[in-house]
Amino acid sequence: MITRREFLAASSASLVVAATASGAQPVPNRPWYGTMRRCGQLNLNERDPLTLDVASWIDYWASLKLDALLLNGGGIVAFYPTEVPYHHRSEFLGSRDLFGELAAATKARGMRLVARMDCNYAYDDALKAHPEWFERNRDGSPRPHGESPWLFKTCMFSPYFTDQMAAIYREIGVRYPVDGFFTNVWPSTGDLTVCHCESCQRVYRETVGATPPDRVDATNGYYRKYYEAYMDRVLDVWRRWQTVVTEKRPDSVYVGNLGGGIRTVKNVKRLAEVARWFNADHQGRSGDTAIWDCAQQGRVAQAVMDGRPITNVTGAYSNSRPTWRHVSKPPAETIMWLAQTTASGMVPWFHWLGGAPEDTRWKAVGRDFFTWLAANEPHFRNRRSIADVAVLYPQRTIAFYRSGTQPRDWRGAERAQTADYLQGLYYALLEGRILFDFVHEDNLRPETLGRYRALLIPNAAYLSDDRCQRIREYVAGGGSLLATFETSRYNEWGDDRPDFELGDVFDATAGDVAAPAGNSYMRIDSRHPTLAGFEETALLPGPEQRVAVRARGGDPAASAPLTVVPYYPAFPPEMVFPRTPRTDQPAALFRQNGRSRVAYFSGDIDRTFWRSGNPDLGQLIQNTVRWLLGEDRAPVTLDGDGVVETFAWETEPGYALHILNYTNPNMTRGFVRKFYAIGPQKAEFRVARGRRIASVAALRAGRAVPFTQDGDVVRFEVPAVTDYEVVALT
């Protein structure tokens, strides 16, 4: 096996194509950040003004052909001689204006400059002068930082955000040639905080009605009101800051910090309503997080941004658990993160902490990837995804769900599992090499859903009446649907419904949820196309959780080829025999009405697939998706060995097929140390009717790919994929 570095060294001559100039080119009606393709960030520490070598740093970032560079302005620490009271100047600043030096050098190299700010903490002199700026515990005490206790947490509802931060933005905007402002950490897509400062008490009194619970609890009416008030405040602050930063420069932008991958509590659709630029602070993975975590982040952001710019931060440092801020991540892991960023249509933002690194291994990794990107830039200018399968991003279920089988005192760890349904479906789609996009549950407009042949719903248990109606109309209009487990069983806040709101679509009536149990089965009672490959078994592994359902019988053509075999003991072996080998309770219901096909699984086959790894469940999901699509030819098929994730885009010059090679012993536990190249991948790519393709090129390998075209189908074979391949059709 060869590493990416060796691979590059061996083939670098063939990789070099005419490099484009750096600096996002202005396009009419699009702001400068609407066309950027490469961002970088040097995150300064308070001591850096003593030693920072501005020229060598700007040389490095310019060598990455950046469109935009993020550098520390102020907030916690000002890196310039600020006059704003209680805005703490770096104690090592001396007579230097470090931000000013960096700003001038950045602009001299034709890069856009975004001031990186931090609105989340301030020093105790501010605490004494403006006690109303800070978060408070119930006993009135301020909240010091866990590792740097001389800093205190500021409150989003306080004038610190509206007045003090605005004053700092104005000062920087007047003094320096900045093109935008970015805030570290805030607002994030994570949990809400509950604070007891004066401002917050007023909100609780006037808007919420009482102090809200201090963790996610959508069963609590005060939490529900607080959630809305919190989101309103985030959007209000965001809009105010956008107004402030454009006072002097109409094309300036405020960029908040989002991210969270598929695990979001704050509604990303609402955040996207104010975000002109979505930055995902999704810098890497730790523990047993799967490698595709970054591509998932891209899909979530794409589902809410409708083609507007999205960046994703890649930490060049080792942001594992534990974290090491000052040593590099292995190059292969960094490359896979950057590759997922660009494959999913995001813009990479390469990030290092500290101006005096003693580990510089990361530098070449970023430079190699970014210069390759710059050399092939037009092929990364996407117009739209050409996937014809949509996966519903179940925002409220992920944020709030607790199923009937979860303990009432659930906490973060249990909540993290609300994404396991989506994760299982995702993994099945990867293994099945099925091309798909996410659609957000708040974006089910006919013009969005109408682009897709099928909608897949991984246990969207909490769905509003309106969302259900849109899904019903989509199916009535000929769309196909897969849904699992408790989908539509509760309203958007988790209040019980007497039955599935989508029961008419599933042709199912809901009963109780069975407690989680292993050693239950699905019996194959009759043959169906979704059961292909299971001819030699009468039993399939059963889902761990299921709703007891009855077929409504509203559709005489509906079929239930899988029935439930309930749990029986798995130990000791003498006791392992079915007590009720046959039931008439459906484990799945399939119906067909013209082009529209509907598959409903009463169990959590998606989540159980993820937890157990049993491939029968993945196969069942893949078979079902293929059945949903009927005779329609997929926009892209890719046959070959290996676990890959694919994205296919219509681009400005033509089309691009992105293939990420996840085939790696470190696929589900980081870090990737080296790549294991996969062999030939045979592709069929459907292009627009009448479109003649003149050339197919593998951009990572740097070579032309032989192809044939038959009508709208272009066929070609990619000989190998080491880490990532982008096949450009023009």
The contact set with Zn ion (CB under 5 A) reads 155, 157, 195, 197, 200
- Taking the complex as a whole, the smallest distance from the CB of residue 158 to Zn ion amounts, in Å, to 6
CB nearer Zn ion, residue 33 or residue 152: 152
Cβ atoms of 293 and 326 closer than 8 Å? no
Q: Please, what sign has the CA dihedral across residues 580, 506, 396, 595? A: positive
Q: Which two three-digit tokens encode residue 294? A: 């970054």
Cβ neighbors of 631 (< 8 A, separation 6 or more) are: none
- Name residue 112's beta-bridge partners: 68
- DSSP conformation letters of 122-171: EEHHHHHH-GGGB-B-TTS-B-B-SS-TTEEEB-TTSHIIIIIHHHHHHH
- Taking the complex as a whole, the smallest distance from the CB of residue 347 to Zn ion amounts, in Å, to 34
CB nearer Zn ion, residue 136 or residue 686: 136
CB nearer Zn ion, residue 161 or residue 647: 161
**Residue 514, amino acid:** A
- Taking the complex as a whole, the smallest distance from the CB of residue 226 to Zn ion amounts, in Å, to 12
CB nearer Zn ion, residue 192 or residue 197: 197
Q: Judging by DSSP bridges, how do beta strands 389-393 and 454-457 pair with one another? A: parallel
Query: Using N-to-C axis directions, what is the helix angle for 4-15 and 331-343, rounded to 10°?
Result: 50
Nearest residue to 488 (alpha-carbon basis) of 438, 409, 549:
549
- Taking the complex as a whole, the smallest distance from the CB of residue 153 to Zn ion amounts, in Å, to 9
CB nearer Zn ion, residue 214 or residue 359: 214
- Taking the complex as a whole, the smallest distance from the CB of residue 208 to Zn ion amounts, in Å, to 13
- Taking the complex as a whole, the smallest distance from the CB of residue 200 to Zn ion amounts, in Å, to 3
- Taking the complex as a whole, the smallest distance from the CB of residue 447 to Zn ion amounts, in Å, to 40
Cβ atoms of 681 and 717 closer than 8 Å? yes
Cβ neighbors of 349 (< 8 A, separation 6 or more) are: 39, 40, 41, 70, 279, 311, 312, 313, 314
- Taking the complex as a whole, the smallest distance from the CB of residue 229 to Zn ion amounts, in Å, to 12
CB nearer Zn ion, residue 161 or residue 182: 161
- Taking the complex as a whole, the smallest distance from the CB of residue 307 to Zn ion amounts, in Å, to 36
Q: What is the dihedral of CA 537, 538, 540, 543, to 10 degrees?
A: 180
Q: Where do we find the tokens 């942001």?
A: 319
Residue 439: count other Cβ atoms within 10 Å of its Cβ.
23
Query: Using N-to-C axis directions, what is the helix angle for 605-612 and 420-431, rounded to 10°?
Result: 80
- Taking the complex as a whole, the smallest distance from the CB of residue 203 to Zn ion amounts, in Å, to 8
Q: Please, what sign has the CA dihedral across residues 487, 491, 493, 495? A: negative
CB nearer Zn ion, residue 183 or residue 318: 183
Q: Judging by DSSP bridges, how do beta strands 539-541 and 521-524 pair with one another? A: antiparallel
CB nearer Zn ion, residue 7 or residue 238: 238
Q: How far apart are CA 405 and CA 514, in angstroms?
A: 8
Q: Please, what sign has the CA dihedral across residues 331, 333, 336, 341? A: negative
CB nearer Zn ion, residue 134 or residue 600: 134
- Taking the complex as a whole, the smallest distance from the CB of residue 74 to Zn ion amounts, in Å, to 22
CB nearer Zn ion, residue 211 or residue 612: 211
**C-alpha Rg value of the chain to the nearest Å:** 27
Residue 149: count other Cβ atoms within 10 Å of its Cβ.
10
CB nearer Zn ion, residue 156 or residue 672: 156
CB nearer Zn ion, residue 190 or residue 642: 190
Cβ atoms of 51 and 355 closer than 8 Å? yes
Cβ atoms of 160 and 154 closer than 8 Å? yes
CB nearer Zn ion, residue 122 or residue 454: 122
Nearest residue to 638 (alpha-carbon basis) of 679, 687, 677, 682:
682
Q: How far apart are CA 348 and CA 280, in angstroms?
A: 10
- Taking the complex as a whole, the smallest distance from the CB of residue 165 to Zn ion amounts, in Å, to 15
- Taking the complex as a whole, the smallest distance from the CB of residue 164 to Zn ion amounts, in Å, to 14
- Taking the complex as a whole, the smallest distance from the CB of residue 135 to Zn ion amounts, in Å, to 5
H-run or E-run covering 326: strand 324-328
CB nearer Zn ion, residue 170 or residue 240: 240
